[in-house]
Chains A and B, each alone.
Chain A
Amino acid sequence: MLINMGPSHPAMHGTIRIMLELDGEKILNSELEIGYLHRGLEKTCEHKTYFSLLPYTDRMNYVSPLINNLGYAMTMEKMLELDVPQRAQYIRVILCELSRISDHLTALAAMTMECGAFTVFLYTIKAREFIWDVIEHTTSARMTTSFIRIGGVRADLHPDWKDHLKTAIIETKKVLKDVHGLMDKNKIWLNRTRDIAVVSPEMAINYGWTGPCLRSTGVNFDLRKASPYSSYDHFDFDVPLGERGDNYDRYMVRMIEMEQSMRIIEQAMEKMPKNKAPLLAKGMKPAKAIEASRKQKVEGGIKLSPNLEGSEKDKYADILSTGKKYIVPPKEDTYTSIEGLINHFIFFMKGHGIRPPKGEVYFSVEGGNGELGYYIVSDGTDKPYRWHLRAPCFHIVSALEEMIKGHYVADVIPTFGSTNMIGGEFDR
């Protein structure tokens, strides 16, 4: 019997269709049809300037947009040979690890909810809200932030960032403990995930798997360890590995990876380099500083920003690279001097701005699903000649046909959930 699953199916995430050939409930064969969320991303990006295509990268893996930003920014930095200040690198690490946690939380939320564990869904999304609060507090957007820019980050951290981050980590840890308690030894969960869709290390490598799914088969490959970028080598963390490569291992690897991510965040909080130009005098609350700045004679150490965004000229040394041609000119100059205004226009004008040398570049970072790589070909103009994305879940989902073969229809749901298909980067 032939049965059509999706694309309008709650577990198919709206963007994929599986034709199943069944014998009773057993899957003899299956065929995937993709392309339901093909938004012409690569072609659109080829028509944008290097600076203005950044928001498109947010919308690829929309659960962890900051990692996508980082991948693109670092690819461009490799092309332009820019150095990023230490503090900006640490800010990037914190934000990326927060994104990774939110990515894994969402993946597990979907996977468990589709198996009937609605409580876990509510809990994990609760934790995600706390994490998004921190991201919103820092970047002033919940999801599509475009915060990580070519050459650094958009703004410095908020003076209160540590308290917010601590709350988020405490709440996430509580939730993870609850989820472990609810799922780890749950009979139903074990029956639906243990020894289902077993993938051997060879098969995983042949399909080009990366990320938590590859590590669940026991292959120790994590780009953060294999080729450390953005000062990941400053932090001490473990890479969790699975043993069997089944759905349960993919769940467990994600759970443990979140704990490791929190370890990295805690270390980064401790080691965060001091900013050279603090916004406020030490120990002063923002409200007090605003009050003090209104006095006729302003005391020393109080500096209020014109836009209150943390991206003042003084901060550029902390958050952005020194390559003047490749970063947005400070707003203070733009608004007060003619040279600044000219620089601003030259940066944003068509045909000017960021114009990398001719050539091609590939760079990859460890995304939520695995190796997130960018391949950019430059022809010397302000627009990329070719802009390609190596989406991790494309390679993972391509193995789905083989994974579900011989299993039951009900096993498609947790198997597909464990691959964590994200339409935005999958169909592009």
Chain B
Amino acid sequence: MGKLNKTEKLATNGGWITTKFNEVLGWGRKYSLWHYPFITACCGMEYMSAACAHYDFDRFGMGWTRFTPRQADMLLVCGTITHKEAPVLKTVYDQMTEPKWVVAFGACAVSGGIYDNYAVVQGIDRIIPVDVYIPGCPPRPETFFDALIKLQEKVQKEGHDWRWKKRT
């Protein structure tokens, strides 16, 4: 039994090679976040500002906007998600390949925002898992960069999803 526990421990914590590999992998991933902007409403305007020359999120290593979910690592949900839009968002999320991260951009995506009524999903975390929440209606580009740096920290710490590792 004791021996088995020891191997288990090795597999989860990793030896020197795997930890170093994870570090390099995290470093690579966090500076190449290709994102899919799921823009529906007002927050898209601030997303455009963040993308363009004044604020320029390319400086943080997320230069590529991919308009197909299959090439994207990061889903940016900018704007209100209504009940009619919700299945579309879910489909887009399912189409993305692992590993994938989701950012809820703005109050509507976080919690439904000021639209507390019959038509609006009260936060996208009711449909898909969310990694970073950005408050604001709409958030300023600086707030978005703050969230982006937080997400990059998270990505750095995430290990490689080893195939033989048991999922809990």
Q: Residue of B at shortest CB range from A9?
A: B67
Assess the A44–B38 pair: CB atoms within 8 A. Answer: no
A125 smallest CB distance to B (angstroms): 4
Assess the B88–A8 pair: CB atoms within 8 A. Answer: yes
Assess the B85–A125 pair: CB atoms within 8 A. Answer: no
A351 smallest CB distance to B (angstroms): 21
Assess the A14–B117 pair: CB atoms within 8 A. Answer: no
Segment 1-52 of A: residues with Cβ below 8 Å from B: 7-10, 13-15, 35-41, 43-44
Assess the B42–A144 pair: CB atoms within 8 A. Answer: yes
Assess the A424–B41 pair: CB atoms within 8 A. Answer: yes
Q: Does B49 belong to the interface (CB within 8 Å)?
A: yes
Instruction: List residues of chain B with CB within 8 A of the CB of A248.
Output: none
Segment 1-60 of B: residues with Cβ below 8 Å from A: 38-42, 44-46, 48-49, 51-54
Assess the B40–A126 pair: CB atoms within 8 A. Answer: no
Q: Does A204 belong to the interface (CB within 8 Å)?
A: no
Assess the A36–B117 pair: CB atoms within 8 A. Answer: no
Interface size on B, residues (CB 8 A): 33
B55 smallest CB distance to A (angstroms): 8
Instruction: List residues of chain B with CB within 8 A of the CB of A126.
Output: 52-54
Q: Does A122 belong to the interface (CB within 8 Å)?
A: yes
B39 smallest CB distance to A (angstroms): 5
Instruction: List residues of chain A with CB within 8 A of the CB of B79.
Output: 14, 37, 423
A68 smallest CB distance to B (angstroms): 12
Total cross-chain contacts (CB, 8 A):
99
Assess the A143–B114 pair: CB atoms within 8 A. Answer: no
Instruction: List residues of chain B with CB within 8 A of the CB of A14.
Output: 38-40, 44, 79, 85
Assess the A8–B119 pair: CB atoms within 8 A. Answer: no
Q: Give A143 to B49 CA distance when docked, in angstroms.
A: 11
Residue from B49, B85, B115 within 8 A of A36 (CB atoms): B85
Assess the B52–A423 pair: CB atoms within 8 A. Answer: no
Assess the A142–B46 pair: CB atoms within 8 A. Answer: yes
Assess the A62–B82 pair: CB atoms within 8 A. Answer: no
B104 smallest CB distance to A (angstroms): 15
Assess the B84–A36 pair: CB atoms within 8 A. Answer: yes
Assess the B39–A62 pair: CB atoms within 8 A. Answer: no
Instruction: List residues of chain A with CB within 8 A of the CB of B152.
Output: none
Q: Does B80 belong to the interface (CB within 8 Å)?
A: yes
Q: With A39-B80, A39-B82 in contact, do A8 and B117 touch (Cβ < 8 Å)?
A: no
Q: Give A52 to B79 CA distance when docked, in angstroms.
A: 22
Residue from B42, B88, B140 within 8 A of A62 (CB atoms): B42
Q: Does A210 belong to the interface (CB within 8 Å)?
A: no
A284 smallest CB distance to B (angstroms): 31
Q: Does B130 belong to the interface (CB within 8 Å)?
A: no
Q: Does B62 belong to the interface (CB within 8 Å)?
A: no
Q: Does A63 belong to the interface (CB within 8 Å)?
A: yes
Assess the A122–B53 pair: CB atoms within 8 A. Answer: yes
Assess the A125–B119 pair: CB atoms within 8 A. Answer: no
A64 smallest CB distance to B (angstroms): 10
Assess the A13–B39 pair: CB atoms within 8 A. Answer: yes
Assess the A39–B120 pair: CB atoms within 8 A. Answer: yes
Segment 112-164 of A: residues with Cβ below 8 Å from B: 121-122, 125-126, 128-129, 132, 142-144
Instruction: List residues of chain A with CB within 8 A of the CB of B132.
Output: none
B157 smallest CB distance to A (angstroms): 30
Instruction: List residues of chain A with CB within 8 A of the CB of B85.
Output: 7, 14-15, 36-37
CB 8 Å contact bits of B99-137 with A (1 = contact, 0 = none): 000000000000000111111100000000000000001
Assess the A59–B41 pair: CB atoms within 8 A. Answer: yes
Instruction: List residues of chain A with CB within 8 A of the CB of B53.
Output: 122, 125-126
Instruction: List residues of chain B with CB within 8 A of the CB of A9.
Output: 67
Instruction: List residues of chain A with CB within 8 A of the CB of B54.
Output: 125-126, 129
Assess the A423–B48 pair: CB atoms within 8 A. Answer: no
Q: With A8-B88, A36-B82, A37-B80 in contact, do A143 and B45 touch (Cβ < 8 Å)?
A: yes
Q: With A14-B39, A122-B53, A143-B42 in contact, do A40 and B48 touch (Cβ < 8 Å)?
A: no
CB 8 Å contact bits of A53-78 with B (1 = contact, 0 = none): 00110010011000000000000000
Q: With A7-B85, A55-B114, A129-B52 in contact, do A40 and B41 touch (Cβ < 8 Å)?
A: no
Q: Offer 20 A-B interface pairs, CB within 8 angstroms, sorted by A.
A: A8-B91, A14-B85, A15-B40, A35-B84, A36-B82, A36-B88, A39-B80, A39-B120, A125-B53, A125-B54, A126-B54, A128-B49, A129-B52, A132-B49, A142-B46, A143-B45, A143-B46, A423-B40, A423-B79, A424-B41
8 smallest beta-carbon distances between A and B, as pairs: A62-B42, A125-B52, A40-B119, A40-B117, A10-B67, A14-B40, A129-B54, A39-B115
What residues make up the interface of A, taking CB atoms closer than 8 Å to B?
A: 7-10, 13-15, 35-41, 43-44, 55-56, 59, 62-63, 106, 109, 121-122, 125-126, 128-129, 132, 142-144, 423-424
13 extra interface residue pairs, beta carbon distance < 8 Å, beyond A36-B82, A40-B117:
A14-B44, A36-B40, A36-B85, A37-B82, A38-B82, A38-B119, A39-B119, A43-B118, A121-B52, A125-B52, A128-B49, A144-B138, A424-B42
